[in-house]
Amino acid sequence: MTDKQTFNKEKDLFSWKDFLKMPVIGIVRHISAETIAQILPLYQAAGLTTIEITMNSEGAVDIIRHASSEYGNQLNIGAGTVCSLRELDTAIQAGAQFIVTPVTDEEIISRCVEIGIPVFPGAFTPTEIFKAWKTGADMVKIFPATALHPRYIKDLKGPMEQIKLMPTGGIDTGKAVAWLDAGATAVGMGSELFNKGFIKNKDWQSLQAHFESVVKAVKLCTG
């Protein structure tokens, strides 16, 4: 098990201040390490603060290690799609500063609480959401949010106003604004943020402009 003292180095600490100032988690899935190295400085320069590398991506551990080493004091670097305690420990050893899971796994949540690393487990129903929060989740990922309406957040917030919620799945800029307006603490954005066309063509200028447009829209929404 990863030692709490080992985790809590200055560069390892998750910045809630930066995250809440720009409440978007960019989800990186199946993007090469070489491409991520090109993207990270653009991502930071655009004003985005938090990025998640999914553990089912090829070379995920090396990507997290590189991102943490080079940008751990400037960006929140996290590991996503963490589905076992083994993956959790591997991600933390690589330098992950927060953990995201696709489902509510009480063992993983409890281990994160013990270690002192923020954890955002996935849940869908009110019962799952409350269970995740009660177990120790810092924020609950509403997943998949693809077929849901932002009204779902408003309905949940009635009896569970204390729970931080982060819809994830099929979220573009317009939907991000709608979810945040409805009361979401943050949103998770994947392919809608990391435009495949720009990346394939290595059009880094257009990709950065796209990042900046998302930042501008979110800032207008959150004030």
Per-residue pLDDT reduced to its tens digit, 28-66: 999 999 999 999 999 999 999 999 999 999 999 999 999
Q: What is the CATH number of the domain that holds 147?
A: 3.20.20.70
Measured from the Cβ of residue 141, the count of other Cβ atoms closer than 10 Å reads 31
Q: Taking CA 22 as the corner, what is the angle to CA 165 and CA 73, rounded to the nearest 5 degrees?
A: 110
Contact of 24 with 47, CB cutoff 8 Å: no
SS3 percent helix, strand, coil of the chain, rounded to 5, is 50, 15, 35
Q: What is the pairing mode between strands 24-28 and 187-189?
A: parallel
**How buried is 156 (Cβ within 10 angstroms: 0-12 exposed, 13-18 middle, 19+ buried)?**
buried
Q: Which residues of the chain have pLDDT under 70?
A: 1-12
- Count of domains observed in the chain: 1
0.85 exceeded by pTM: yes
Classify residue 222: in a domain, yes or no. Answer: no
Classify residue 144: in a domain, yes or no. Answer: yes
What's the Cα-to-Cα distance from 138 to each of 70, 134, 196, 212, rounded to whole Å? Answer: 26, 10, 31, 27
Classify residue 73: in a domain, yes or no. Answer: yes
Supply 87's token pair: 């993956």
Show the domain range for 167: 4-217
Classify residue 194: in a domain, yes or no. Answer: yes
Classify residue 223: in a domain, yes or no. Answer: no
- For 47-133, where are the E strands, in sequence order? 50-54, 76-80, 98-100, 119-120, 122-123
The predicted pLDDT at position 3 comes to 43
